[in-house]
Each structure stands twice: as structure tokens, then as C-alpha cells.
Structure 1
Amino acid sequence: MLLLKSFILGFSVSAPIGPIGLLCIQRVLLKGRSAGFLTGLGAATANIIYAGIAAFGFSAISFFLVEKQLYLKIIGSLFLLYLGIKTFLKKSTNKAADLDGSSLFRMYASTLLLMITNPVTILNFAGMFAGLGFEQNSSPVQTSTLLISGVFLGAISWWIILSFAVSILRTKITPYMEYVNKIAGLLIVILALLNFIHST
């Protein structure tokens, strides 16, 4: 039951379309499902890291990251701004770009870096885990493992669904990729600026 609850939590936390969702959609349209999935996997990896810290109670690490959240948010905002401008200026193409291993890794790493700069996620997960409650007759390690596994599986499920759903519409949207890039880039820049304003 706890696994199912944490699965729903991981799915619902990932589902709102924010900057990561926009990146995922834009990359699926430009480079295919693999790029979109790797983008989502980077986000899910960051979630599982912070969920693990929250679930296992690494208080020293949590305190340090939350204490430095201002600097991390500024770094994240600047990186998000860079991604937004890069997306806005990207030239449209009628052919999906070929992805080699390093490109796939960049899809994953860039999203992981972006997500990891928001350590307040630890507090969010800690609060949400407390709200889920704990299974009786389960050890703390078993409970934490169930929570983290559920969050990861839920998040991955959302990114798979989003990547496949967008890829189905890819052929219809591809001719308008120049407009898609500019809209997505502009929205990401706006989100970066809002994130920066709220962090200062």
C-alpha cells in the first residue's frame, strides 16, 4: 500500500508541466522519444536522490543543502536561462538529429543538474512522506526503500507517458518546430527569471 501511495506521489510531483516538462516536450519533438525519456530520467534521478535524503533522514546533508539553497537556486536559474535562450535560438529542422552516446548523456546530465539545484525538494519530500504515514511491522529501512522506489517508479512512468504521447503528435508538429522552439524557449526564460526573483 505504501509503495502504491509513493508511486502516486512520484507521478503527481512530476506531472505538472514546468521547465523540465517543456524541455522534455521540445527534445522529443526535435530528437525523438529517447531524448525526451533521458530528460525525464535526469529529473527522476534528482528526485530519488532528494527523496532518499528525506526518507533516510540524512540531517547533516539536508541542513547543508537547504542552508545553501540561495546559491544553488541562483545557479539553477542561470542554467535554466541558458537553456531557454539556447532553445529559443535553435534553428528548426525537418529531420531529427542523430543522437550519439554523449548527446544522450547530455540530455540526462543537463536535467539532473537543473533539478539538483533545488534542495528545498528535500523538505517537500519529508513533508509528503510524513503525510503518507508508515506501514506497521515494517523496519525504517524497508519503509524508506518502499518510499523511494515508489517515487522513482511513479516519476519514470510519467516521463514515459509524456515522451510517447508527444512522439505520437511529432509528425504533425515538426513542420512548426521553429515556433515551438521559440515558445518553449521564451517560457523557460520567463520561468528562469521568476525563479531568480523568488530566490533573491
Structure 2
Amino acid sequence: MPELFHIDILSTILKGIIIGVLASAPMGPVGILCVQRTLNKGRWYGFVTGIGATVSDLFYAAITGMGMSFVMNLINNAHNQFFLQIMGSVMLLLFGIYSFRSNPTKNMHQSGNTKGSFIHNGVTAFLVTISNPLIIFLFMACFAQLAFVVPGHPFVMLIGYASIVAGALMWWFGLTWLIDKIRIIFDNYGIILINRIIGSIVILFSIIVLIGTIFNLFTIHY
């Protein structure tokens, strides 16, 4: 138990929040759905849509974490750790470039006019998100670069996963609040602009971390 106190729980919380935001921010199908429901049905319908997506993201985050915990002996090797962090940075960079260049409105479908229940809106968002297991690759990149997995400490990992949920909910809460405030002027270009801003931030973050890893400017230990 004393070893547990050597683990920086605050760092785990911060990493979880960052991962939660990175997983939720890109304007994919569920992001578009959240925006449409916020505009057509109201802010809280959009937020419930985000909650449904968050539950799906938590499921895939847990799968990723369990998978990586099984290969921690390989990851703990300093040589392997270096290349794993490089790979994570490159994957984040490619993800950022894809987000910047993509046009999420191209395949956008108009959401229904009927509001439906909060549960219905949340469940449909969950189903949309759970149908895209490629999010696992994003979690792999984030977990690798941020050294998120702490095997043998289920309490710390539980806090970490809760932080991912908190980060995701912070994003959906902020996004729906912003859209609700500027709904009169918000259009398809606004969605594209959000994606480009997110992509730029991810690109900048991944480049900084990549340079830091290559030149050993900072070290994240597993």
C-alpha cells in the first residue's frame, strides 16, 4: 500500500481529462449529431447525446487499458518505451492532420424533428459511437504517450477512467453551451472551423511531445 502513495494521482487525473477531451473533441458522426440536436431540440438533448458517446468511449478505453496492462513487461523496457512513445506521438500527429483536413459535414444527415426522450437520445448516440471501434487506436496512442496505464493499482486506474469520463463530459458540456449561445450564427462552417482548431491543437501537442521524447526533454515513466 505505501507504494500507492508514490504514484502521482493528480497526474493520472490530468492525463485522464486530456484523453477524455481528445477522444470527444473531433467532429465525427456523434459530434455532428450532438450539434444538430443542440440546435434542433435544445442544449440538454445535445448534452445527453454526449453522455451516450462518453459511455461508449469509456468501454473502449477500458478495453485498451486492459490490453496494454497484459504487455507491461514489454512496455517497461526503456528501449521499447521510447519507441512506443514515438509511435504514440506519430499516431496523434496523423490523427490531428486527419481532423484538420476532414469535412465532417460532407456526409451529414438531418436529425429528426421529434425530440424523443433523453434516454432515447443517449442510447442512439451510444450506438453510433460503439459502432466505430477505430477509437481504440486513438486511446492506444494517448495511453502510450502519456503513460496512462498503471498495472497493479486498480484504484488509480479507476480514478483515471473516471477522469476520462470527466474530461469527455467537460467537452460536451462546453460544446453544447457554446452552440446554444451562438445558435443564430452557427452553421456548417462553424463545424468545420471547430474541427480545424481541434486538429491544429492536436498537431501542435503531438509535435511538442515528439520533439520532447526524441531529445529526452521530459520523460514519462511507466
Question: Is TM more than 0.5 here?
Answer: yes
- Asked whether 1:140 is paired with 2:150, we answer no
1:103 corresponding residue in structure 2 = 117
1:55 corresponding residue in structure 2 = 65
The percentage of aligned residue pairs carrying the same residue is 33
What is the alpha-carbon distance in structure 2 between the residues aligned to residue 56 and residue 154 of structure 1? 20
Deviation per residue, 1:85-126 (Å, 9 max, x gap) = 453xx57xxxxx6x5xx5211211111001101223234313
Residue in structure 2 matching 1:168, options 172, 181, 199: 181
Deviation per residue, 1:138-157 (Å, 9 max, x gap) = 83313421331121110100
1:122 corresponding residue in structure 2 = 136
Gap change, CA 1:105 and 1:84, over 3 Å in 2: farther
1:46 corresponding residue in structure 2 = 56
Pick 1 or 2: higher relative contact order, CA cutoff 8 A, min separation 6. 1
Residue in structure 2 matching 1:158, options 158, 168, 171: 171
- Asked whether 1:30 is paired with 2:40, we answer yes
Residue in structure 2 matching 1:14, options 2, 21, 24: 24
The code of the aligned residue for 1:107 comes to N
Deviation per residue, 1:161-183 (Å, 9 max, x gap) = 0111111123x259xxxxx6xx6
The code of the aligned residue for 2:133 comes to P
What is the alpha-carbon distance in structure 2 between the residues aligned to residue 19 and residue 162 of structure 1? 15
Per the TM alignment, residue 22 of structure 1 is displaced from its structure 2 partner at its CA by 1.6
What is the alpha-carbon distance in structure 2 between the residues aligned to residue 21 and residue 158 of structure 1? 11
Gap change, CA 1:126 and 1:135, over 3 Å in 2: closer
RMSD: 3.0
TM-score, normalised on structure 2? Answer: 0.55
Equivalent residue of 1:57, what SS? helix
Per the TM alignment, residue 24 of structure 1 is displaced from its structure 2 partner at its CA by 1.0
Higher share in helix:
1
Contact preservation (8 Å) 1:6, 1:148: yes
> Tell me, which stretches of 5 or more residues in structure 2 are unaligned?
1-10, 70-106, 193-222
The code of the aligned residue for 1:52 comes to A
What is the alpha-carbon distance in structure 2 between the residues aligned to residue 85 and residue 12 of structure 1? 24
What is the alpha-carbon distance in structure 2 between the residues aligned to residue 135 and residue 22 of structure 1? 31
What is the alpha-carbon distance in structure 1 between the residues aligned to residue 122 and residue 166 of structure 2? 17
Per the TM alignment, residue 28 of structure 1 is displaced from its structure 2 partner at its CA by 0.8
Per the TM alignment, residue 134 of structure 1 is displaced from its structure 2 partner at its CA by 5.1
What is the alpha-carbon distance in structure 2 between the residues aligned to residue 30 and residue 4 of structure 1? 34
Gap change, CA 1:103 and 1:16, over 3 Å in 2: same
What is the alpha-carbon distance in structure 1 between the residues aligned to residue 108 and residue 149 of structure 2? 43
